Structure 1
Amino acid sequence: MHTPSSPVQEAFKDVMAHVATPVAVVTSMDGGLPFGTTVSAFTSLSMTPPMVLVSLDRGSETLELITASKKFGLNVLGREQQGTALKFAKKGGVGKFHGVRWDVDHDLPRIVGAAGWIACHVEQFVEGGDHVVVLGNVVAAENNYSDPLTYHRRVFGTHSALEPA
């Protein structure tokens, strides 16, 4: 059953929609099969040691697999990967990878053509409302130097630098 949102929840959702966020697909493996889900709540956490954090819905199948395997991949999407972001935002397991080119890197699904790749071992799970924040130690990273896919005002886009003042 859907619970009605409070005025604070609605205002908070509106404020957050006006914050540009990067878009990534968090991945995991289960018996040799790839799984993944789109996220916009991830960021670097530490440089010494290198760490990231990612926030996943408690009901996420990918979170369940990460909890079991204690590792995850972070595929930072590029500006041409809006279709990939939408595909992985839907519910439903392994079928999300149908038609998506991917390889195995550090025993994790790595989406070909992503703007960046980060492989992590889980350091800690932190409960947070209806989500779980996963803290990951970075074991591998690669930048492909392409423009990032971003999400702002409920639409996809990319970042462009301002002209110098």
Structure 2
Amino acid sequence: MESSLLTRTMARVPGPVTVVTTVDGGGKPWGFTASSFSSVSLDPPLVLVCLDKGASTHSAFTTAEHFLVNVLAHEQDGVARRFATSGIDRFAAGDMETCELGLPGLPGTCVRVACAIHSVIDAGDHSILMGRVTETYVSDRIPLVYFNRSFSRPELPT
């Protein structure tokens, strides 16, 4: 299958917008934007997020003990763009605070899911970070959704 066809096809599948964070052994924070986040199992409680093997954050996450998934609220698209940009200090804005498991998290998110690394699975040009959920945070915020290569806010039933 031609990769551009798969890319166009998957762009039509809405997904949550997340910023995933961790801290390396030296205390340096790392983070990236992902829309490939999903629940895997209730028993044990597992989630997954996918990370490009060519990403500058790949080594930090595949060797980490923990990671935190921040599911962004609808007005946090600027944060999503910042954590998707290469070659910048993604934490320079100072909007992250210490959250679950002592990891950098974003206040005002819809959801935060703190995980211990369960496994790292080879998946072509990506790695699947499988996390065992240890803590969660849930708010009433409306999520940011990625659909058709742009950010949007879901319509809520009236």
TM-score, scaled relative to structure 1: 0.88
- Preserved CA contact (<8 Å) 2:74 2:152: yes
Q: Which residue of 2 aligns with 1:119?
A: 114
Give the structure with higher Rg (CA): 1
SS in 2 for 1:60: coil
The match for 2:96 among 102, 119, 132 is 102
Residue 19 of structure 1 corresponds to which residue in structure 2?
A: 13
Any gaps of 5 or more consecutive residues in structure 2?
none
Contact persistence 2:20–2:70 (CA under 8 A) = yes
Matches within 5 A, 1:34-53: 34-53=29-48
Counterpart contact for 1:27–1:62, Cα < 8 Å: no
2:155 matched residue in structure 1 = 160
- Number of equivalences: 156
Name the Cα RMSD after superposition. 1.6
Deviation at 1:89, TM superposition (A): 0.2
CA offsets per residue over residues 10-52 of structure 1, 9 Å max, x none?
Answer: 1111111111110000101132332100000110111112110
* Cα distance in structure 1, aligned partners of 2:94 and 2:146: 21
Percent identity among equivalent residues?
35
Partners of 1:71 and 1:112 in 2: CA distance:
19
Where has structure 1 moved over 4 Å in runs of 4 or more?
none
Partner of 1:3: none
> Letter of the aligned partner of 2:152 in structure 1?
G
* Structure 1 unpaired stretches of 5+: 1-6
